[in-house]
Amino acid sequence: MQNSVVKTLQVGFVQQSCTADTAANFAKTIAQIRIAAGQGAKLVVLQELHRGLYFCQQEIAAHFDLAETIPGPSTQALGTLAQELDIVIVASVFEKRAVGLHHNTAVVIERDGSVAGKYRKMHIPDDPGYYEKFYFTPGDLGFQPIQTSVGKLGILVCWDQWFPEAARLMAMAGAELLIYPTAIGWSPNEAADEKVRQRDAWITVQRAHAIANGLPVISVNRVGHEPDPAGGAGLNFWGSSFVAGPQGEFLLCASVDQEETAVVAIDLLRSEQVRRMWPYLRDRRIDHYSDLVKIYRD
């Protein structure tokens, strides 16, 4: 099937909780992918680092044992599944590229089971509870969409979702969808009003990427409490996975605290209709944007 004939795409996502049992987590993921495919999904998106706990709450060298190569066990298992179900899968892998060199990598599995491409997370956070710079080398593949049988996918990962430059560059390179595998939550110690502000900001910034680029957005987050290995409060992942259309309109929203597998139809022709009305790419003033390559204008 050629991408040019795809007008409506059935998209599924898997929002799940995780434990330290990576085999059980992966088995649950595969079962949910089957459910999404059974509901008609031709593209299924998984959350960030879906095989296990979000291990970046602390800097622990033994966690590097969780990393795997691409291709490797996860991509091989998902490739077999994708071929069986005739679907495209967006997965997330703690990639071991070489000894001492690791990435947070989204990998796209094509319908024939092959690896269509991968994206290595470009923006790496280093905040309390999110010590990712200890584990992940920043990506070196740039902001390049991945061509698949269901469309040209602009894959970005979690912290990337806060940066409008990343979404714009994917759109400029021809992405037809923006996809964000995610692992984000709040501390149980946060005040209730602060929790609301954080979650609302996360949703709003991604809807803005949809609007500013005239593209659908798929954002898939994990859910549930995960303990801090050092005995701290841990993290409550706020779920809220969603799909938005090219004007930021919600097409599908998941709950804050429940595991969910859901499927929704995306009209891929709407992006062109929206861009004709709101031609942001036409009106960009690139002759005055040179300062964007600076960290800050002093």
Q: CATH no. for residue 79?
A: 3.60.110.10
Single out the residue of 133, 178, 130, 138 nearest to residue 155, CA to CA. 178
Check pLDDT > 50 for residue 113: yes
110 within a domain of the structure (yes/no):
yes
Single out the residue of 207, 218, 211 nearest to residue 270, CA to CA. 211
| Structural domain harbouring 57 | 9-278
The predicted pLDDT at position 1 comes to 38
Overall average pLDDT of the 28-32 stretch: 98
The predicted pLDDT at position 75 comes to 98
The predicted pLDDT at position 40 comes to 98
Single out the residue of 7, 10, 13 nearest to residue 223, CA to CA. 13
2 within a domain of the structure (yes/no):
no
290 within a domain of the structure (yes/no):
no
Q: Residue 3 — pLDDT band, cuts 50, 70, 90?
A: very low
The predicted pLDDT at position 282 comes to 95
88 within a domain of the structure (yes/no):
yes
Share of the chain above pLDDT 70, in %: 98
Cβ partners under 8 Å of residue 186, min gap 6: 194, 195, 198, 199, 235, 236, 238
Q: pTM for the whole thing?
A: 0.96
Residues involved in catalysis? 48, 121, 158
Over the chain, what is the mean pLDDT?
96
Q: Give the type of residue at 264.
A: V
The predicted pLDDT at position 48 comes to 98
Do 273 and 249 touch, CB atoms closer than 8 A?
A: no
DSSP state letters, 150-192: TEEEEE--GGGGG-HHHHHHHHHTT-SEEEEE---EE-TTS-H
Share of the chain above pLDDT 90, in %: 97
284 within a domain of the structure (yes/no):
no
175 within a domain of the structure (yes/no):
yes
| Number of domains, the chain | 1
Q: Residue 281 — pLDDT band, cuts 50, 70, 90?
A: very high
114 within a domain of the structure (yes/no):
yes
* Interval 221-276: pLDDT, tens: 999 999 999 999 999 999 999 999 999 999 999 999 999 999 999 999 999 999 99
Overall average pLDDT of the 88-107 stretch: 98
Overall average pLDDT of the 10-38 stretch: 98
Q: Residue 5 — pLDDT band, cuts 50, 70, 90?
A: low
Overall average pLDDT of the 124-144 stretch: 97
107 within a domain of the structure (yes/no):
yes
The predicted pLDDT at position 6 comes to 62
